[in-house]
Amino acid sequence: MPARTNPAEHGGTWRLGDLPVYRVGFGAMRLTGTAPFGDGVPRDRERAINVLRRAVELGVNHIDTAAFYFSATRSANELINRALAPYPEDLVITTKVWPGRDPSGAWWWAEPAQLRAQVEENLRQLGRDHLDVVNLRVPPSGRTGSIGEHFGALAELREAGLIRHLGVSNVTSAQLAEARDIAPVVCVQNPYGIGAPSEERALLRHCGELGIAFVPFFAIAGPGREAGPAVGDNEAEVCAVARAHGVSIPQVRLAWTLQQGPHVLAIPGTSDPDHLAQNVAAGALRLSEEEMARLTSLGRAHMPVGPRKHSAGPPHTRTTGVTTPR
């Protein structure tokens, strides 16, 4: 880790395999347009590029992306390439495969033999000769089944040198165990935040016991996902803690998440430079034991898992040729 002083270091560090990262990272999903996955009015291209560069200036060295993060005129991977290449030596870029989208935005799910093409597409878009971390993103309909064949295909690509480390996303504890029997797993990327269900809280603790990074998504939005947190009694409690510290509600949600354990990372996304600075600063926010207990006791509403369905939805059994997102 570089010996420079920067805001990101106040959140502490963790390792994705042999790759040290600051615990507050950056999610690229929102760079291409309004969520989800850029399906909306595209953001200003130069503004998106400047946000990425500013994130690195603030010390962020963990960026989460995917080839399926694109809109009609923007690709998150292309923006990252344009903004940051040649990449800083300490920058870790994680991506995910299994879901795909055709040029119209329709979802499809890759067969094991198609994962190589998805990995190569990420490599091409990012301008890399290998990917630091690739997460196998499990479809919503696949959370009760085996992921062995798909994860095994990624393990072969790791052996071939296209991937440095592997992770899993939107998984159960049983699927994590199945993956670990095949190849090392450095991170689990699942939905998590205030109000997370008991099974997700147990998985977070289990990852800590195994020394695996737990990387929540929708940590700020909670059950509201792309729509943001719902207004109600729970939000009022979060707001009260935010007022006590003179910070924003998203900062409190991020701080609460990070205080779940030293192995917990954050990848909040934004296209706003001011929100970016606030997100990074949340790594320095320390909530008291009483505040943590109050927030933890809020309603345990089940947080949805996996990408929402778009149009007719991404059927798990559909397969097509791999196309290039634009």
Per the model's pLDDT, the better-predicted residue between 139 and 233 turns out to be: 139
What is the pLDDT, as a whole number, of residue 70?
Answer: 93
Burial 195-216 (b: 16+ CB within 10 A, else e): bbbeebeebbeebbeeebbbbb
Residue given tokens 């997100």 in the structure block: 279
Q: Is the pLDDT assigned to residue 32 strictly greater than 70?
A: yes
State yes or no: is 69 an active-site residue: yes
Backbone angles phi, psi at 323, to 5 degrees: -110, 165
0.75 exceeded by the pTM?
yes
Q: Is the pLDDT assigned to residue 250 strictly greater than 60?
A: yes
* CA–CA distance, 179 with 148 (Å, rounded to integer): 6
Q: Which two tokens stand for residue 221?
A: 């939005």
Nearest to 308 by CA among 149, 173, 191: 191
Confidence of residue 220 (pLDDT cuts 50, 70, 90): confident
* CA–CA distance, 70 with 54 (Å, rounded to integer): 21
pLDDT in tens, 289-302: 999 999 999 865 44
Q: Are 33 and 181 in contact (CB under 8 A)?
A: no
Listing DSSP states for 78-138 in one string gives HHHHHHHPSPPTT-EEEEEESEEE-TT--EEE--GGGHHHHHHHHHHHHT-SSEEEEEEE-
The CA distances from residue 154 to 63, 64, 113, 133, 230, in Å, are 20, 18, 10, 11, 37
Query: Which residues are bridge partners to 220 per DSSP?
Result: none
* CA–CA distance, 99 with 118 (Å, rounded to integer): 9
Q: Is the pLDDT assigned to residue 324 strictly greater than 90?
A: no
What is the sign of the dihedral through the CA atoms of 191, 216, 118 and 65? positive
Per the model's pLDDT, the better-predicted residue between 224 and 122 turns out to be: 122
The CATH code of the domain at 10-296 is: 3.20.20.100
Q: Considering only 63-67, 177-181, 259-263, 295-299, which range has the smallest mean pLDDT? A: 295-299
**Segments making up each domain of the chain, as ranges:** 10-296
Q: Is the pLDDT assigned to residue 267 strictly greater than 80?
A: yes
Over residues 219-224, mean pLDDT: 66
Question: HSE (CB half, 13 Å, CA atoms) of 168?
Answer: 30
The catalytic residue among 22, 69, 87, 192 is 69
What is the pLDDT, as a whole number, of residue 59?
Answer: 98
Q: Are 110 and 80 in contact (CB under 8 A)?
A: no
Q: Is the pLDDT assigned to residue 42 strictly greater than 70?
A: no
Q: Is the pLDDT assigned to residue 315 strictly greater than 70?
A: no
What is the pLDDT, as a whole number, of residue 3?
Answer: 45
Burial 226-263 (b: 16+ CB within 10 A, else e): eeebeeeebbebbeebbeeeebbbbbbbbbbbbbbeeb
* CA–CA distance, 17 with 25 (Å, rounded to integer): 16
Average pLDDT, the chain: 87
Q: Are 151 and 168 in contact (CB under 8 A)?
A: yes
What is the pLDDT, as a whole number, of residue 293?
Answer: 95
Residue given tokens 């192995």 in the structure block: 263
* CA–CA distance, 198 with 260 (Å, rounded to integer): 14
pLDDT in tens, 91-145: 999 999 999 999 888 999 999 999 999 999 999 999 999 999 999 999 999 999 9
Q: Is the pLDDT assigned to residue 318 strictly greater than 60?
A: no
Per the model's pLDDT, the better-predicted residue between 41 and 284 turns out to be: 284
